[in-house]
Amino acid sequence: MTTDLASRAQADYDALVAQGMKLDLTRGKPSAAQLDLSAALLGLPGETYRAADGTDTRNYQGLQGLTELREIFAPALQVPVEQLIAFGNSSLELMHDTLVHALLSPLPGAERRWVDEEKVVFLAPVPGYDRHFAVCDRLGIELVAVPMTPEGPDMDVVEQLVAADPSIKGIWCVPKYANPDGVVYSDEVTRRLATMPTAAPDFRIMWDNAYAVHHLTEEAIEVADVLALAAEAGHSDRPFVFGSTSKITLAGAGVAFLGASETNVKWWLALTAKRTIGPDKVNHLRHALFFGDTAGVAAHMAKHRALIAPKFAALERILTENFADTPGVSWSTPKGGYFVTLTVPEGTATAIVKLAKEAGIALTPAGATHPGGEDPQDAIIRLAPTFPPLDEVEKAMAGVAVCVKLALATA
Amino acid sequence: MTTDLASRAQADYDALVAQGMKLDLTRGKPSAAQLDLSAALLGLPGETYRAADGTDTRNYQGLQGLTELREIFAPALQVPVEQLIAFGNSSLELMHDTLVHALLSPLPGAERRWVDEEKVVFLAPVPGYDRHFAVCDRLGIELVAVPMTPEGPDMDVVEQLVAADPSIKGIWCVPKYANPDGVVYSDEVTRRLATMPTAAPDFRIMWDNAYAVHHLTEEAIEVADVLALAAEAGHSDRPFVFGSTSKITLAGAGVAFLGASETNVKWWLALTAKRTIGPDKVNHLRHALFFGDTAGVAAHMAKHRALIAPKFAALERILTENFADTPGVSWSTPKGGYFVTLTVPEGTATAIVKLAKEAGIALTPAGATHPGGEDPQDAIIRLAPTFPPLDEVEKAMAGVAVCVKLALATA
């Protein structure tokens, strides 16, 4: 790196700082314009409160959630309607609570409660979702990182670990448009996850299908049906499937789903029956009326795509313009989901995030994509372009490019 | 009991069975007419989605819940606004989750997590609320029954137990219009609960103020401020206060509240932040707009009272007509809440519930008001008159009277 380049990079950065920006690419939040797509929800259900089967949604009961809403989302989540639960406003809490149940009551197939195990370990494909890792930290579940490949987790590593160690009780998976690298699990990876021998009899796949219908291209990518594959392999209780409308309707006021084998669902509902009389069925009805049917969800997602695909395209354009020929800098080009992963030369990610922060551009902390917040390569930056308006995304990303260049020039 | 009386009782019962009734006095559910009082909620928030402070309620965040809704309910729940959390649709799940947090992370003041204790015991004033007991059963918390008095739990018994045994970590309390006997805790009982020495440093009062504004008479009864009394006594972290709008607005789609010391609230929110990004703030806004202010809640509750007080009056009338002079038969005359407790001669409650069932009248199982579902006296029957229309309440209660008479005649 010549001094010329370094001083130009410094000058550009100084100019950036001088702009006094205040921009944020940290979290996968829908923008106000996306939320406006669901404006009709705010007046629903209006005059009606009866479900299709006559249930008065206003009163207690109905632990599994409204049938017509489960029918609408069953195909996208690849879960039979009778094995799908519609619940509260957060799939994260369904994941958390499922692990709490497993800690405090034996899972189907388990020899004992997980709190009575010497230790409980989950596999964390990295880069991955920081909130998954935080749930485990909070519950005393240890995380072991396994590498991601362009097809999903490195299954050679996964298979070896789970076959050998009965304390490994689960794996986190975001099978489609994974957070943060946009990876779509290949059918072969899903098959291997569903069929692999595990030392733990109570091994579980936490199948967080958060972006099941969140396509960024014409292509509506499908992943393999993990519940069906697991059942065929004699491991029907292995997967817990999660999803939500948080990034479909309203991020704070949507509906979350849990799907699993009949046995798992029965177990989960029996424990949950001690916790609550039932979820908010009026919100279920509100959503069922809003969508009408499964096709209604797809039509709605096309509107989201029209709003956010240009933001992802802006990232792609700015990154290509600046780093097409830069060794060590690469990025994901996701076909769906909410994130772009920017890979920078080893040891520079933290510095770049810090430079950006000082220039008024908030980025997710480097390392957040790894267990314990520690990326051993210090090379992964997660970019979330959906929340700010397009012009701000462009400004922020151009600013990030300036920061990357300065970090590389002074590394 | 003469044979004449017994055969008349049998004839009356046979006539009752012949009617083929299908009536239900089991659960404290609001009636459809009560739910209709909140019809406007179904179209709210309508065009608006901004909270008073500008928050976009549709998006993520806001773990403590909407300020304006907390302001409306803070006075009734006797919790400072900044120490009150507005959350999901169920106070039962707030209670459950609070105990889960205590099991898996040390409470403020605790020496260790409750799962690491040899045993954890809660005191259960009896008769009490079956769902409280079921939460403990599910979580492996043992229950020790303590007797209720007309002023609240028998504090001589409670004080002796908690002073002696550090495994006693808590007590369930429904301080106002208690489920099922309608008892209102005297100020002295509340003071003793708040100030008593406990062997456990992490002792908690589960103060389920479920019926804080649910008056059945002109008298808006207040209980003592347990948070303030505990703080004055140097036990500020002792109470967890719970409440909800389940029996104010919509039973399945209301808002639940948790209040506690600053330290407890901070602890609870920090753990809950790992579980969810936040509660459904649109539902908070919906409720805040619906009520307007604290006076709006009281005005709304007056409408409930107009609908349900006649049902309680019908029970009182039918019980008085039939059993004013019957030894061993007595009943509560609650000034609020959702239940009447019918006390029958020892050893007859189960038989009466069975007779009622065979005549098509569903009653809460005898014993449900006691830990383990076992009332050692077999003498307590909980009656819940709110859900059926008034004429059905009258028919069902007249039927129950027939069953009681037959049971007494053949006992």
Give the mean model confidence (pLDDT) for residues A335-355. Answer: 97
Q: Using CA atoms, how far apart are residues B410 and B7, in angstroms rounded to an integer? A: 9
What's the confidence (pLDDT) of residue A2? Answer: 63
> pLDDT band at residue B3, thresholds of 50, 70 and 90?
confident
Element of type H or E holding B3: helix B3-18
Pick the closest to residue A69 from A256, A270, A209 (CA basis).
A256
What's the confidence (pLDDT) of residue B202? Answer: 98
Identity of the residue numbered A161: L
pLDDT in tens, A357-370: 999 999 999 999 99
Number of residues that this document lists for chain B: 411
Of all residues in chain B, the percent with pLDDT exceeding 70 is 100
Q: Using CA atoms, how far apart are residues A109 and A120, in angstroms rounded to an integer? A: 15
Residue A250 contacts B, CB cutoff 8 Å: yes
Of all residues in chain A, the percent with pLDDT exceeding 90 is 98
Quick check: B1 pLDDT over 60? no
Q: Strands B256-259, B84-86: parallel, antiparallel or unpaired by DSSP?
A: antiparallel
Compare CB distances from B59 to A30, A45, A134 and report the shortest one's residue.
Answer: A30
Residue A277 contacts B, CB cutoff 8 Å: yes
Q: Using CA atoms, how far apart are residues A214 and A248, in angstroms rounded to an integer? A: 8
Chosen for mutation from A57, A272, A277 (greatest number of chain B CBs closer than 10 Å) is: A277
Residue B132 contacts A, CB cutoff 8 Å: no
Quick check: A373 pLDDT over 80? yes
Quick check: A198 pLDDT over 80? yes
Q: Dig out the tokens for B331 from the structure.
A: 């009943």
Quick check: A3 pLDDT over 80? no
Chosen for mutation from B274, B284, B338, B387 (greatest number of chain A CBs closer than 10 Å) is: B274
Cα A300 to chain centroid, rounded: 20
> pLDDT band at residue A4, thresholds of 50, 70 and 90?
confident
Q: How far is B321 from chain A (nearest CA, A)?
A: 33
Cα B207 to chain centroid, rounded: 10
CB contact under 8 A, B251 and A88: no
E strand intervals along B209-345: 239-244, 256-259, 330-331, 340-343
Give the mean model confidence (pLDDT) for residues B62-69. Answer: 98
Quick check: A286 pLDDT over 70? yes
Please name the residue that has the structure tokens 């009965």.
A166
Q: How far is B307 from chain A (nearest CA, A)?
A: 16
Contacts of B283 in chain A (CB under 8 A): 253, 280, 283
Quick check: B268 pLDDT over 70? yes
Q: How far is A408 from chain B (nearest CA, A)?
A: 35
Query: Helix A294-323 crosses helix A390-410 at what angle (to 10 degrees)?
Result: 40
Q: Using CA atoms, how far apart are residues A105 and A112, in angstroms rounded to an integer? A: 8
Chosen for mutation from B276, B290, B387 (greatest number of chain A CBs closer than 10 Å) is: B276
pLDDT in tens, A74-99: 999 999 999 999 999 999 999 999 99
Chosen for mutation from A60, A64, A271 (greatest number of chain B CBs closer than 10 Å) is: A60
Give the mean model confidence (pLDDT) for residues A230-252. Answer: 98
Which residues lie closer than 8 Å to A269 by C-beta, 6 or more apart?
Answer: A63, A64, A85
Give the mean model confidence (pLDDT) for residues B76-93. Answer: 98
Pick the closest to residue B125 from B104, B149, B97 (CA basis).
B149
Q: Dig out the tokens for A403 from the structure.
A: 């920061």
CB contact under 8 A, A250 and B58: yes
Q: Domains along chain A?
A: 3-28+298-410 (3.90.1150.10), 46-292 (3.40.640.10)
In the DSSP assignment, the letter for residue B364 is P
Tally of CB atoms within 10 A around B192: 18
What's the confidence (pLDDT) of residue A363? Answer: 96
Report the SS3 class of residue B398.
helix
Number of residues that this document lists for chain A: 411
Quick check: A165 pLDDT over 80? yes
In the DSSP assignment, the letter for residue A382 is E
Which residues lie closer than 8 Å to A310 by C-beta, 6 or more apart?
Answer: A390
Q: Using CA atoms, how far apart are residues B21 and B343, in angstroms rounded to an integer? A: 24
Residue B112 contacts A, CB cutoff 8 Å: no
- With 0-12 CB in 10 A as exposed, 13-18 as middle and 19+ as buried, what is B289? middle
pLDDT in tens, B220-245: 999 999 999 999 999 999 999 999 99
Q: Using CA atoms, how far apart are residues B411 and B403, in angstroms rounded to an integer? A: 12
Which residues lie closer than 8 Å to A378 by C-beta, 6 or more apart?
Answer: A346, A347, A348, A349, A350, A366, A367
Q: How far is A386 from chain B (nearest CA, A)?
A: 13
pLDDT in tens, A380-400: 999 999 999 999 999 999 999
Compare CB distances from B57 to A29, A252, A271 and report the shortest one's residue.
Answer: A252
Quick check: A49 pLDDT over 90? yes
Quick check: A1 pLDDT over 60? no
CA diameter of chain A: 75
Quick check: B215 pLDDT over 60? yes
Q: What is the chain B residue with the closest CA to A44?
A: B43
pLDDT in tens, B15-41: 999 999 999 999 899 999 999 999 999
Q: Dig out the tokens for A5 from the structure.
A: 């380049």
ipTM: 0.97
Quick check: B356 pLDDT over 90? yes
Query: Helix B3-18 crosses helix B390-410 at what angle (to 10 degrees)?
Result: 140
Quick check: B359 pLDDT over 80? yes
3-state helix, strand and coil shares in percent for chain B, rounded to the nearest 5: 45, 15, 40
Give the mean model confidence (pLDDT) for residues A50-56. Answer: 96
What's the confidence (pLDDT) of residue B5? Answer: 86
Q: What is the chain A residue with the closest CA to B94?
A: A275
> pLDDT band at residue B2, thresholds of 50, 70 and 90?
low
Give the mean model confidence (pLDDT) for residues A178-185. Answer: 95
Element of type H or E holding A168: strand A168-173
Residue B115 contacts A, CB cutoff 8 Å: yes
> pLDDT band at residue B126, thresholds of 50, 70 and 90?
very high
